Amino acid sequence: MQDTGRFSKRVLCRWLLVIGTGLPGLPVPEANSDEARPVGDTFMVIDRGTAMIGADGEELERLSATTHAAGALSPDGHWIAFSESRKVASGSRKGNLIIQSRLRSQERTIVPLVWGGTGSSFLPLWSADSHRILICEQGTNDTVRESAYRIYDLAKKDLTDLKLPKEWWPSDWSADGKRILMTLKGRVAWGNIDGTGEPEFITPEREVAYNAQLSPDGRRILCLTGPRRPNEERRRLRLSVFDLETRTNKRSFVDEPGETNGYCWSPDGSRVAYTWQRSLDAPADVAVRETFLMTCDPDGSQRKTVTSRKYEVPLNSSGRDGIVIFFEVLAWR
C-alpha cells in the first residue's frame, strides 16, 4: 500500500495496492436492498477506485472510492469482492475486504485485512464454484516482509488459515480447488493449496512469466511473458496465451507491443480483455497518459477498443519517468 497521493507504477506481481483515496474519488452510492443489481456483460475495473462498467465503457456501478484497490468478481457473476480503506483513530488507514452480493447490495460481509496499511498489498481469488474466496496478503512485521493466506467460506461464514511458503505469489485457483497457480522464481507454477509437495513449473526456464490466469476450460493460461536476460534493468513483457495441454512453448501473443497491466478471460474463454498503454520514448515529458481497455480473440486477432481513460500524472515524488497505470481491468462477466 502506497502513501496517499502517490500512484502505482507497474509491478510484475499482480497483487494490487490497497491505499487511501489519492485521486479525487467518485461518490459511492448508498446500498439499497430493494434494488436488484444486473448480472450481465460487464467489466470490473480500477478507475479512481473500483467500479463496474458495461460493454460500451459506461460506468454501471461505483463500488469503492479507494484508489488502486484490488477486487475480484465471482465466476457465477453474483458476488463481488473489493477493498476499502478508512482512517482509524490513530490517523493511519486500515483496509477491509468487502464481499457483496450483486443482486442484493445490502448482503455483504466485511473481512478485516491482516495488514491493510501503508506498504501492504492483497489479492482476492474466487474458487471456481463461487463459494469460497482465497485472500492473499503481504505486509511487514518488525521490518520483516511476511505473507498471510486465508480462505473465507461464504456458506459457513468462517475463515481458515493456510500455511503457504511466503515466496509463493498466487494468481489463480484450480477448478477442483486443490491447487493454485503462482509466480515463483520468475516462472508460472502449480502448487498444492495446502503448501505441501514441490511446485510444478509450467513455463520454460529460459523465459520470465508472471501472474497466470486460468481459462474457463482449464486448458490455457493468460500471463505476461518475456525473454530472460541477465542484468537487464527492465524486461519487455507481452501478454500471451500458453497451452497447458501441449506443455510446449506453443503460445500466441495477445497484445501489441506496449505496456499491458490488467487482463482476464471472457466468461466462456473465447475472448480476452486487457488494459494497455502505448510505449513512450520520453515518459517524463508526457503529463497525460491514456490507457485503453481492449478485447480480442486469444490469438490476438479481432481486436476491439471498448473504452479508454486519460489521467494527468502529477509532479510528485513518484515522478512521470515511469509506466503509470491508473485504469486496469480485473474481471469480465
Q: Is 68 left (phi over 0), alpha (psi -120 to 50) or beta?
A: left
Contact, 55 vs 306, CB < 8 A? yes
pLDDT at 27 over 50: no
Cell (9 digits) for 130: 463461487
Percentage of residues in the chain having pLDDT higher than 70? 82
Higher-confidence position of 87 and 331? 331
pLDDT score, position 157: 94
Q: What average pLDDT does the segment 47-58 reach?
A: 91
More confident residue, 28 or 65: 65
Report pLDDT for 64: 80
Domains of the chain in sequence order: 16-332 (2.120.10.30)
What's the whole-model pTM score?
Answer: 0.85
pLDDT band with cut points at 50, 70 and 90 for residue 65: confident
Residue 270 has pLDDT above 90, yes or no: yes
Q: What is the mean pLDDT of residues 269-280?
A: 94
pLDDT at 145: 85
Averaged pLDDT for residues 277-283? 88
Q: What's the whole-number mean pLDDT along residues 282-307?
A: 93
Nearest to residue 168, comparing CAs of 153, 188, 141?
Answer: 188
C-alpha cell at 140: 511487514
pLDDT band at 70 (very low <50, low <70, confident <90, very high): confident
